[in-house]
Amino acid sequence: MIAASDLRAGMTFVQDGKLIKVLDASHHKPGKGNTVMRMKLRDVRTGATYDTTFRPDEKFEKAMMETKPVQYLYSQEDVAFFMDLETYEQYEIPTSTIEEEMKYILENMEVKIQFYGSEVIGITLPTSVVLKVVETQPSIKGATVTGSGKPATMETGLVVNVPDFIEEGEMLEINTTEGTYQKRANK
């Protein structure tokens, strides 16, 4: 069992027979009354997201998840295909359940697939990925890192705010937990 105050983004728990993934969690202390946990949650099986609050001492059953290394093969219509790197078994995951994660992965990239029992429920990304800038405004001469930045569209469709000196065609390291630019990738 896990208390609501210990739930963090990325954790999965069971509530009323449903498998729930925490997308965002924060403590909130209203002017009057007790502290509550504000949470943005997603039903793993249906993909529905919703906001709710819990008392910090409410308890939930933590979902026991297993992970396996897999390779992302391709997407067709609304299904993404992955292959187990040891057994070559293939797994299909509806893209609607991994919509956010798909913005960070390219064909042949290694990720980890999550299982709840024998049920495939999602993927775990590496902490950072290297993606190519396909569209951004021209770089500004003399720009520094401290500028306000500009939006850049990556090859997966992800839009990230980058420093003004970044140009189209550059390879950048992107933090997958926050969706932010980290640095230029080593060439």
Q: Which DSSP string do the residues of 137-166 spell out, in sequence order?
A: PPPPTT--TTS--EEEEETTS-EEEE-TT-
Token digits for 156?
Answer: 């997966």
| 132 shares its domain with 171 | yes
| 133 shares its domain with 173 | yes
Question: What are 95-145's pLDDT values in tens digits?
Answer: 877 788 888 888 888 898 888 887 887 888 888 888 888 888 876 665 555
**Which residue among 107, 124, 141 closes a domain?**
124
Question: What are 34-84's pLDDT values in tens digits?
Answer: 888 888 888 877 777 888 888 888 888 888 888 889 999 988 888 889 998
| 157 shares its domain with 135 | yes
Is 96 in a helix, a strand, or coil? helix
| 134 shares its domain with 118 | no
Enter the pTM of the model.
0.69
| 58 shares its domain with 94 | no
